[in-house]
Structure 1
Amino acid sequence: MKRNLLILITAAALLISGCATGPTVTRTASDEVIDLSGRWNDTDSRLTAEAMVSSMLSGGWLERFSTDEGRPPVVIVGSVRNKSSEHIDAETFIKDIERELINSGRVTFVAAGAARDELRDEREDQQSNATQSTAAALAAETGADYMMQGVITSQTDAIQGKRATLYKVDMELIGLENNQKVWIDTKEIKKLVEQKKNSW
C-alpha cells in the first residue's frame, strides 16, 4: 500500500512538473520599439537623445564658436535630473546623449562625474606606481567650454482604465566661463495607455 502511494505521489509530481510552463522569451532587435507598460523606456531615451543632440548641433552657437576659436567646442554632460512621477534611469539617457555627441564628430567630448573622478584617481596613483616615462601627466586635462544639463518631468492623467502621460525633457547648453545659455530645447512624448477592467 505504501509502495503504491509512493509511486502515485512520484507520478503526480512528474506530471505537475511536466505541465508547468515558464515564460516565453523572444529575442528582438535592440532598436525595435516595444512599449509594454506605457512608461518611459529605452526607445524614449534613445529618440529623445537623438532629437536633442540634433537640435543642439544645428544651433547658431556651434558655428559662432568654431569661427571665433578656430576649433570645435569641448562639451561635457552634467546632470539630468529626474523630476517625473516614475523611476527613470537618467544615467542611461546621459549615455545616449554622450554617444550621439561623440558620434557626431562636431564637438570634442570630455568625461564627467564619476568617470572623471576615476580617471583622476588613476592618474594620481600612476605618479607613485608607474614609471616616469609612462605615467599620465597631472593637470593636463582638456577643459570643457560648455556643459549640457537637463531635467525630465511628467504629468499623468488617469480615469477608468485609461492613462495619459506627458513626458517633458528640457535640455540646455551653458558656457562654463560666462554662464551664458547658448542653446535650449524641449522634447515632449505623450502616451495613452488603455487597459480594460482596470484603473490607476
Structure 2
Amino acid sequence: MRLVYKLSIFTIFSAALLAGCSSTPTVQRIDVEEVRDLSGSWNDTDSRLVSKEMVDDMLSRPWVEQHISRHGNIPAVIVGTVRNLSHEHISVKTFINDIEREITNSGEVTFVANSQERSQIRDERADQDLNASERTRNAMGQELGADYMMIGSINTIVDAAAKQQVVYYQTDLKLVSMADNRTVWIGQKKIKKLVQKRKVRY
C-alpha cells in the first residue's frame, strides 16, 4: 500500500514537472494598434508612428504649394533608400511600406512605384504589347516620372549602466528634387526609451 502511495506521489510530481517544462507557447491575439514594448527595441509601433508623423510634417510644408504654383500639378514622389545605421536589426522595408502608405493615402501628392515594382510592371507591359488586344494594351514610354525622391537613415545612441539603458532613436528623412538636386524638405523624429533589465531568478 505504501509503495502504491509513493508511486502515486511520484506520478503527480512528474506530471506537474512535465507540464511546467512544456515548450508549447501561450498565444493571445491582440489588436494591431495596441502598443506593447517587450524588449525596448524598435518595433511596429515605432515604424507606424514615425512614418505617420514625418509624412504629416512633410505634407504641411511650403514645398507642396510651391510645386503646384510652379508646375500646375501635384508633385510626384518616390521613396529611395532609407539606411539602417542603428546598432540593432530594423526592418527598413516595413518602415518604407508605412511611409508609402501614408504618402499614397494622403491624396496630396502622387506616389510613384519604386525601381523593383517598375521592373515588374514593365515586364507586364512588354507581355501586353505582344499578347493583349490593341484596345486594352498599355504602351511603353508613358510612365509618370518622379519629381522628388525621399532618402534618409535611422540611427541609435545607447547609454547603459548597471541594469538600465537608454536607447535613443533618430530618424532623418529628406526630400530631394530630381530636376536639380535641391533639398525641399528635411524631417527628423526622435524617440527615447528607458529599458529596465529584470533580475534573473533561479
TM-score norm. by structure 2 comes to 0.86
What is the aligned counterpart of 2:134 among 126, 132, 135?
132
Q: After the TM superposition, which residues 71-90 of structure 1 pair with which residues of structure 2 at under 5 Å, given as runs?
A: 71-90=73-92
SS at match of 2:79: strand
- Equivalent position of 1:102 in the other structure: 104
Q: Quote the RMSD (CA, aligned, Å).
A: 2.1
Evaluate the alpha carbon distance shift between residue 83 and residue 21 of structure 1 in structure 2; reply closer, same or farther with a 3 A threshold: closer
Q: 1:96 deviation in Å?
A: 0.5
SS at match of 2:82: strand
Question: Share of identical aligned residues, percent?
Answer: 48
- Equivalent position of 2:183 in the other structure: 181
Unaligned 5+ segments in structure 2 are 1-10
Q: 1:51 deviation in Å?
A: 0.8
* Paired letter, 1:73: P
Distance of 2:93 and 2:122 partners within structure 1:
20
TM-score norm. by structure 1 comes to 0.87
Does 1:31 find its partner at 2:33? yes
Deviations, residues 6-58 of structure 1 (Å, cap 9, x unaligned):
xxxxx89x947983362221111111111100000000001100111011001
SS at match of 1:29: coil
Detail structure 1 runs of 4+ shifted over 4 Å in the superposition. 14-18
* Paired letter, 1:81: R
Unaligned 5+ segments in structure 1 are 1-10
Distance of 1:162 and 1:39 partners within structure 2:
14
* Paired letter, 1:122: E
Distance of 2:45 and 2:131 partners within structure 1:
44
- Would you say how many aligned residue pairs link Structure 1 and Structure 2? 188
- Equivalent position of 2:7 in the other structure: none
Q: After the TM superposition, which residues 1-200 of structure 1 pair with which residues of structure 2 at under 5 Å, given as runs?
A: 15=15, 19=19, 20=22, 22-197=24-199
Which stretch has the larger CA shift, 42-51 or 152-161?
Answer: 152-161
- Equivalent position of 1:4 in the other structure: none
